[in-house]
Structure 1
Amino acid sequence: MNGSAKPIKHKGKNRIAVYFEKNTDLIARIKKIDGALWSATLVAWHLPDTAENRERFKIPPMTHSLPSPEGIAQIEKFKQHLRSKRYSQSTIATYSEALKSFLVFFREKPIADITNEDVIVYNNDYILKNNLSASYQNQIVNAIKLFFQTIRETKIEIDKIHRPKRSKLLPNVLSKEEVKLILNAHSNIKHRTMLSLIYSCGLRRSELINLKPNDIDSKRGIVIIRQSKGKKDRITPLSPKILEMLREYYKGYKPRTWLFEGQNENTRYDERSLSNVLKQALTKSNISKPVSLHWLRHSFATHLLESGTDLRYIQELLGHNSSKTTEIYTHVSTKSLQQIKSPFDDL
C-alpha cells in the first residue's frame, strides 16, 4: 500500500496510523484489515499495533524514539495549556503526538534555537521523505504554531510558518436511491433509526452517539446537537418521518442516559459498532462502494443544495465555521450540470 505508517497513542491505546492520499481502492483494502478505523481527528486510518500490522506496514519492532528531556517536559506543559483552553482530549492527543514527532527530529537542539528554517528541513527530510500526506503535514503545522505561542524564548516567527498546498478533493456523495436502499436495509429499528438520523440531520458519527433523549424536541420539531466540533451547540430540523421512527424505537428500547445506548445500560453506543451497522446495510443493499458514515452527511448537504436550499442555511445545519467549507458541495451537485447539453448529442 502506497503511503506511510507510524505507531501512535490514540484514546489511550497503541495504534498504527496509516497515511495516504484519498483513494477508493486503498480505502477498500484497508477496511478489510481487522480493527481498521477512520479518525477524522487524526485525518488517518488507524489499526491495532500488532506484530502482524507492523510487518505489513514495514514498521520496526517496538522502538519508540523519545524527544530530549527538555522536549518531554515541554510537551507536558503544552498538554496542560491545551487542557486549560478546554481542547477536547482527542485533539490534545493528536497535537501532542504531532509535536512529539517534530521534537524527536530535533532532540539534539535546544527548543529556543529552533527556527523557521528547521521547520522547512523537517518538512523535506521527514514529511516528504516518508511520503506523509499533506493532511498530516497540516496537522504538524497546527501543533507547531500552537506550541510556539506558549514559548517565551523562541526564534520561530509563527506567522511565517507555511502550510502545505492541500489537494482539492470532492466529497463522496450517494444518490437518493442509494441512500434509500441503505436506510431500508435493516429490519432492526434501532439500526435503521441511527443511520436515518445521521442522513436526515447531517450528523457526524460522534454527534449521533452523544445525543440524549432530551435533545429530541418533538414540540419544536428540532434536534439539539450539543458541544459538537469546536464546542458549538446547533439545531437541525426534525423530520416528521424520523420522529415517528424515533417513537417506535423509544417504545422498544426505552433509552435513559443516551439516545442510543450500548449493550450495557447507561453507556454510549460504540463507534465501531455503528460502523459495522453501516457495513451490514451495504452488504444487504448490494452496494460495493467504500461508503463511510460521513458519506451520509455529505449526501444530506448535497441533496439539500440540489433541492434549492440556500448555502447559508446548509452551513448552519452542518455547523461549519466557514462558508468556504460548505461551498465544496456546489462542485458535486448535479442540478446545474444536468441542464447542460453535451455537444456530442448534436453529432
Structure 2
Amino acid sequence: MIAEMQIRNYSPRTISSYISSLTRLSLHYHLSPDLLSLEQFKDYLSERITADKISNSTINQAIGAWRILQCDILKREWSTFKVKRPRTHKKIPQILSPEQVQVLLSCISNIKHHALVSLAYATGMRRNEILSLRVEDIDSARNMIIVKCGKGGKQRQIPIKSSLLKILREYYKQYRPSKFLFEGYRPDMQYSPTSFRNILRKAALKSKVNKRITPHTLRHSFATHMLESGLNLKQLQLILGHNAMKTTSIYLHVADTSSIPIPDLLEIKTNETHG
C-alpha cells in the first residue's frame, strides 16, 4: 500500500497518516483490514466519533485510506464499499490587521525569528513549505521563491518584494544556513514546527495582540490583505497553491474590498464611442 501511494505521489505525511489509520482499524477488530466489511468500517467510525470525538479531517483520512485499500490494492468496486464523507462547514478564518502584523513583528528582536515570521506573512506559505525551503529555492535574481513541497507535491513560484529579500539577506549573512533556509540545532535538520509556534505565541503575548496566532493565521492574513490590495482571486489561488477556487474564495468573506477603486464602465464606454 505504501508503494501504491508513493507511485501516486502522496506526501510522506499523508502516507504515514493513512497507514496509521488502517493500523488502528485493524487493531480495533484484531483482523487484517482487507477482511473487514463495510458495516464494520462504518461501526468503527461511528464508535470513534462518539467515544473519541474525532474531527472531520480524521474521518476523511480514514475514508481516504479505506478507499485506497479497497479500490487500488484489492481491486474492488468503490460502489460496494463506499462511505460518504462528513459534511463540512467552512469557518471564517481569523486574521490580523496589517497594523497588528507590524506590531507583532516589532516584538521579535531575534533576526532569525524575525525573518521566519516575515517570510510567512509576506508570502502566505504553509508552515511545512517554509520549514522545507532550501537556500537555493530563493531566486533573488528574479525575486521569486520556488516552493517544491507544496500540498500534493505540486511546485509553484511566489513573487517576493525587495523588502523581504533584504530581511532574508541580512539573516543569511549572520546565520549562513547550509541546507535548509531555516535550520534546527543541527545544520542538516529543518527548524522545528513547535519552535515556530512558540515564536508566535511569545510575540503575541509581548505585543498584547489578543488573538491566537499560528503560522496559518499569517497565511490567512496574507490572503485577506492581498485581496484588499486589489489582487484578483485567480492570482491569489496560484500564489496560495489551492487546487480549487472555492477554497480561495472564503477570503472574500473577510476581506474589505470597499476601498479598491472601481472603474466607471459607462464612462469608459462613452469615451470609446466618442473616440
Q: Same fold (TM over 0.5)?
A: yes
Does residue 1:189 correspond to 2:111, yes or no? Answer: yes
Q: 1:301 to 1:106 in 2, by over 3 A?
A: same
Alpha-carbon distance, 1:206 to partner: 1.3
Residue 44 of structure 1 corresponds to none
Q: Which of 71, 86, 93 is the equivalent residue of 2:16?
A: 93
Alpha-carbon contact 1:112-1:154 (below 8 Å) kept: no
Residue 173 of structure 2 corresponds to 251
Alpha-carbon contact 1:173-1:298 (below 8 Å) kept: yes
Does residue 1:114 correspond to 2:37, yes or no? Answer: yes
Alpha-carbon distance, 1:112 to partner: 4.8
Alpha-carbon contact 2:144-2:157 (below 8 Å) kept: yes
Residue 335 of structure 1 corresponds to 257
**TM-score (norm. length: structure 1):** 0.69
Does residue 1:167 correspond to 2:89, yes or no? Answer: yes
Alpha-carbon distance, 1:155 to partner: 7.2
Alpha-carbon contact 1:114-1:156 (below 8 Å) kept: no
- How many residue pairs get aligned? The number is 260
Mapped to 1, the partners of 2:190 and 2:44 lie a distance apart of 40
**TM-score (norm. length: structure 2):** 0.85
Does residue 1:297 correspond to 2:254, yes or no? Answer: no
Mapped to 2, the partners of 1:238 and 1:284 lie a distance apart of 28
Q: 1:212 to 1:118 in 2, by over 3 A?
A: same
- Bigger RCO (CA 8 Å, 6+ sep): 2
Identity across aligned pairs (percent)?
A: 38
Q: Secondary structure of the residue that 1:150 maps to in structure 2?
A: helix
Q: Secondary structure of the residue that 2:91 maps to in structure 1?
A: coil
Mapped to 2, the partners of 1:303 and 1:290 lie a distance apart of 18
CA deviation profile, 1:10-52 (whole Å, cap 9, x unmatched): xxxxxxxxxxxxxxxxxxxxxxxxxxxxxxxxxxxxxxxxxxx
Mapped to 2, the partners of 1:220 and 1:240 lie a distance apart of 11
CA deviation profile, 1:134-180 (whole Å, cap 9, x unmatched): 22212211111111113437576268421111122111211111111
Q: Secondary structure of the residue that 1:267 maps to in structure 2?
A: coil
Q: 1:245 to 1:286 in 2, by over 3 A?
A: same
Alpha-carbon distance, 1:85 to partner: 3.3
Where in structure 1 are there 5+ consecutive unaligned residues? 1-77, 338-347
Where in structure 2 are there 5+ consecutive unaligned residues? 260-275
Q: 1:259 to 1:142 in 2, by over 3 A?
A: same
Q: Which of 191, 195, 213 is the equivalent residue of 1:269?
A: 191
Q: Secondary structure of the residue that 2:227 maps to in structure 1?
A: helix
Q: 1:221 to 1:101 in 2, by over 3 A?
A: same
CA deviation profile, 1:67-104 (whole Å, cap 9, x unmatched): xxxxxxxxxxx233323434222211111111223333
Higher helix share: 2
Mapped to 1, the partners of 2:10 and 2:180 lie a distance apart of 23
Alignment of 1:1-347 (within 5 A): 78-107=1-30, 111-112=34-35, 114-115=37-38, 117-152=39-74, 154=76, 157=79, 160-336=82-258
Alpha-carbon distance, 1:185 to partner: 1.2
Alpha-carbon distance, 1:108 to partner: 5.5
Q: Secondary structure of the residue that 2:151 maps to in structure 1?
A: coil
Higher strand share: 1
